[in-house]
Amino acid sequence: MPSETLTIVDNRIGKTYEVPIENGTVRAMDLRKIRTSSEDFGLMAYDPGFMNTAACKSRITFIDGEKGILRYRGYPIEQLAEKSSFLEVAYLLYFGELPTQSQLDEFNNIVLSHTLIHEQTKKFIDGFRHDAHPMGMFLSTVAALSTFYKEGKNIFDAQNRLVQFERMVAKMPTIAAFCFRHSIGMPFVYPDGDLSYPANFLSMMYKGTQLRYKPHPVLERALDVLFILHVDHEQNCSTTTMRGIGSSHCDPFTALAGAAAALYGPLHGGANEAVLRMLMEIGSKDRIPEFIKRVKAGDGARLMGFGHRVYKNYDPRARIIKQVAAEVLEVTGRSPLLDMALEMERIALEDDYFVSRKLYPNVDFYSGIIYQAMGFPVDMFPVLFAIPRTPGWLSQWEEQILDPEQRIVRPRQVYLGSEVRDYVPMAGRVDPATVDAAAPQAV
């Protein structure tokens, strides 16, 4: 019977250690016991970018990157995208089980009752310059919510955590739409309780002088599906940030603002914006091979929307989104950008550079094209990612709060800086650049 342990021989001193293996992992703290002397700090794992470090145990999202599998609470993403709704998936993520009809109705009603935001928040949003990036406005406003709901800091009260979850799921579309309306100088549109979650968001975004805004059902459903696909993706950069900030036991609004900030970057949630800008910059199908050549030459250009730290196969979300893109463009009219994206995918998937590195389209490759066809400005794309990621971040945060093994996040470092040295008074300091310039040059 093989033993569930790992034997390590420290060749520096010839000592052998046996460490337990649990769930395919060894505990990093077991490495600390490996020391050359009693003064030695002990061995650490060096893992920049957390390429191979599990920081938590989770029961929320399962990904098999090699096979291209994504499941929330065990349910395949394909089934949820086809049969479920965003609010149902939000419920599933937080509570761990699909709701009954009455549970879902109640959840819908509660979320609806929280969609308004404090009137003071409007003034806050109004304070931003007209050309402020919506994501900057969005995440600052989310952080500001903590000043309205001070009880949010009672994070060890389960009922209190649930109320903040419902509040945030409800208010994100309102804040996002208000940020957009501010940037185009249009009056804010208040939530419409008779509309579905995605339809209400579209109404707050686009309602003009008509009495009621009713989106096209295909676009309403497309947005719901896109939201489902973005709900969670286990321990990515922004979720890790959510857990990292949450580990200091601050309120969830503040932690979520930090997570949204992490999402903003072009290597993460900002990639959909970057994909569209890339396609617009390339301009036409015939210029794609030239661009691919630049990417392969490594002169700074990346094929945005391609590649993933975890997926080494087609991102299952991208497959669904590609289908949604076709349905949306049936309604809104064909986009030359979709034709370019399809051509780019075709070329890349036949090219050894991308094949050998297992670089496939990710969730962001087609989502921007859909968002643009639905009238969202490019700047809004990361915000459109943050709205549905909210229940994911908060479910991960809830799991962390309830996990007795979790501690405040505090990684170690490998210090390679100067040894101790004495402070040099100003008069005694020399600028090395000046010394070099004055030095005699070799001939």
Which residues have a Cβ under 8 Å from the Cβ of 229 and sit 6 or more positions away?
77, 81, 317, 320, 321, 363, 388
* Under rule CB under 6 A, residue 302 binds ligand CMC: yes
* Under rule CB under 6 A, residue 267 binds ligand CMC: yes
* Under rule CB under 6 A, residue 307 binds ligand CMC: yes
Among 142, 304, 340, 344, contact with ligand CMC (rule: CB under 6 A)? 304
Among 27, 346, 357, 412, contact with ligand CMC (rule: CB under 6 A)? 357
Distances from the Cα of 106 to the Cαs of 4, 61, 86, 96, 99, in angstroms?
47, 25, 15, 17, 10
Which residues have a Cβ under 8 Å from the Cβ of 13 and sit 6 or more positions away?
36
Under DSSP, the state recorded for 104 is H
Long-range contacts of 17-23 (CB under 8 A, 24+ apart): 23/57
* Under rule CB under 6 A, residue 359 binds ligand CMC: yes
The CB-of-434 to ligand CMC minimum distance in angstroms stands at: 38
Rounded to a whole number of angstroms, the distance between the first and last alpha carbons of the chain is 73
* Under rule CB under 6 A, residue 6 binds ligand CMC: no
Q: Among the candidate windows 27-35, 109-117, 297-305, 325-333, which touches ligand CMC by CB under 6 A?
A: 297-305
The CB-of-345 to ligand CMC minimum distance in angstroms stands at: 12
Nearer to ligand CMC, 122 or 302 (CB): 302
Nearer to ligand CMC, 129 or 293 (CB): 293
* Under rule CB under 6 A, residue 312 binds ligand CMC: no
* Under rule CB under 6 A, residue 278 binds ligand CMC: no
Distances from the Cα of 180 to the Cαs of 8, 156, 273, 368, in angstroms?
57, 35, 15, 17
Number of CB atoms found within 10 A of residue 329's CB: 17
The CB-of-115 to ligand CMC minimum distance in angstroms stands at: 27
CA–CA dist 197, 142 (Å, integer): 19
Nearer to ligand CMC, 67 or 309 (CB): 309
Q: Among the candidate windows 146-154, 181-189, 360-368, 402-410, which touches ligand CMC by CB under 6 A?
A: 360-368
The CB-of-205 to ligand CMC minimum distance in angstroms stands at: 23
CA–CA dist 249, 240 (Å, integer): 14
* Under rule CB under 6 A, residue 228 binds ligand CMC: no
Backbone angles phi, psi at 302, to 5 degrees: -120, 150
Among 303, 324, 337, 380, contact with ligand CMC (rule: CB under 6 A)? 303
Q: What tokens were used for 391?
A: 């229940």
| Secondary structure element (H or E) that encloses residue 69, with its range | strand 69-72
* Under rule CB under 6 A, residue 309 binds ligand CMC: yes
Do residues 361 and 305 lie in contact, with contact meaning Cβ atoms separated by under 8 Å? yes
The CB-of-339 to ligand CMC minimum distance in angstroms stands at: 20
Among 161, 171, 207, 233, contact with ligand CMC (rule: CB under 6 A)? 233
Q: Among the candidate windows 12-20, 96-104, 359-367, 392-400, which touches ligand CMC by CB under 6 A?
A: 359-367
Nearer to ligand CMC, 12 or 357 (CB): 357
Counting residues that bind ligand CMC (by CB under 6 A) gives: 20
The label of the residue with tokens 């945060």 reads: 397
Q: Among the candidate windows 144-152, 179-187, 266-274, 328-336, which touches ligand CMC by CB under 6 A?
A: 266-274
Among 175, 295, 337, 394, contact with ligand CMC (rule: CB under 6 A)? 295
* Under rule CB under 6 A, residue 363 binds ligand CMC: yes
Which of the residues are catalytic? 268, 308, 364
Among 362, 367, 390, 400, contact with ligand CMC (rule: CB under 6 A)? 362
226, 229, 233, 238 alpha-carbon torsion, rounded to 10°? 10
* Under rule CB under 6 A, residue 308 binds ligand CMC: yes
| Secondary structure element (H or E) that encloses residue 15, with its range | strand 15-20
Backbone angles phi, psi at 5, to 5 degrees: -140, 165
Of 237, 334, 347, 356, the residue nearest 303 (C-alpha): 347
CA–CA dist 21, 58 (Å, integer): 18
Q: What tokens were used for 206?
A: 């686009």
* Under rule CB under 6 A, residue 158 binds ligand CMC: no
By the criterion CB under 6 A, which residues form the site for ligand CMC?
A: 233, 236, 267-269, 271, 295, 302-309, 357, 359, 362-364
